């Protein structure tokens, strides 16, 4: 998978991340579990706020179910290794991205920003899952992360397509480019953490 072509990310993850992630796999799995829970909650929130958007409700209902199944699968990987779930951690990456969802103005503009920020989170997760798939020695986890990598790429596409369903595609493409630049800056400025998926 060529991330910069498919996912359009402006910056690749620091290669040091996967090395420290493998050495701290309990923390990574715990953080990953909560990321999946938050992804499901985000989809539910958008359904609640935009119930009149028929396609959005239908597609996000399926996406929420898939994200929750991922949460359950990460819990299973934790249990196999004798690790507890642990408490959720603040995701500074997501917090900084969400700060760029514009408030006020047209309702569709805010929805577009929410969908595109969700798309970028899926894209970054996909890129990190690829690193884990390709580099960790645990073959069971390697296979697990390959499967989730494929799923997250599809979620990225779904979110962008939904944005184009409700807003001018040219406007969506321009805003996506803006947010991709912002996302790259956020990743550049965040420290490499040994206990975070993002």
pLDDT band at 3 (very low <50, low <70, confident <90, very high): very low
Residue 13 · residue 193 · CB < 8 Å: no
Average pLDDT over residues 20-40: 93
pLDDT tens track for 66-98: 999 999 999 999 999 999 998 888 899 999 999
What is the reported pLDDT for 121? 96
pLDDT tens track for 31-69: 999 999 999 999 999 999 999 999 999 999 999 999 999
Per-position DSSP letters for 59-79, written without gaps between them? HHHHHHHHHHHHHHHHHHHHH
82: left (phi over 0), alpha (psi -120 to 50) or beta: left
What is the reported pLDDT for 198? 83
Overall pTM surpassing 0.85 (yes/no): yes
CB atoms within 10 A of CB 167: 19
Average pLDDT over the chain, rounded to an integer:
91
For residue 4, pLDDT over 50 is answered with: no
d(CA 84, CA 80): 10
Look at residue 108 and give its three-state secondary structure: helix
Torsion sign (Cα): 6, 182, 98, 91: positive
Average pLDDT over residues 131-153: 92
For residue 1, pLDDT over 90 is answered with: no
């Amino acid at each position: 998978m060529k991330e910069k072509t498919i996912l359009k990310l402006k910056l690749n993850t620091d290669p040091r991340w996967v090395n420290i992630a493998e050495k701290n796999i309990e923390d990574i799995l715990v953080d990953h579990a909560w990321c999946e829970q938050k992804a499901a909650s985000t989809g539910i929130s958008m359904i609640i706020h935009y119930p009149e958007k028929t396609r959005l409700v239908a597609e996000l209902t399926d996406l929420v179910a898939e994200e929750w199944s991922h949460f359950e699968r990460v819990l299973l990987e934790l249990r196999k290794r004798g690790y507890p779930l642990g408490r959720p951690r603040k995701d500074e990456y997501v917090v900084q991205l969400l700060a760029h969802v514009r408030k006020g103005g047209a309702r569709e503009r805010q929805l577009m920003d929410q969908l595109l920020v969700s798309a970028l989170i899926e894209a970054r997760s996909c890129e990190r899952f690829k690193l884990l798939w390709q580099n960790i020695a645990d073959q069971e986890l390697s296979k697990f992360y390959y499967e989730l990598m494929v799923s997250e790429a599809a979620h990225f596409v779904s979110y962008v397509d939904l944005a184009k369903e409700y807003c001018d595609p040219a406007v969506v493409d321009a805003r996506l480019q803006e947010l991709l630049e912002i996302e790259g800056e956020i990743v550049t400025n965040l420290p490499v953490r040994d206990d975070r998926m993002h």
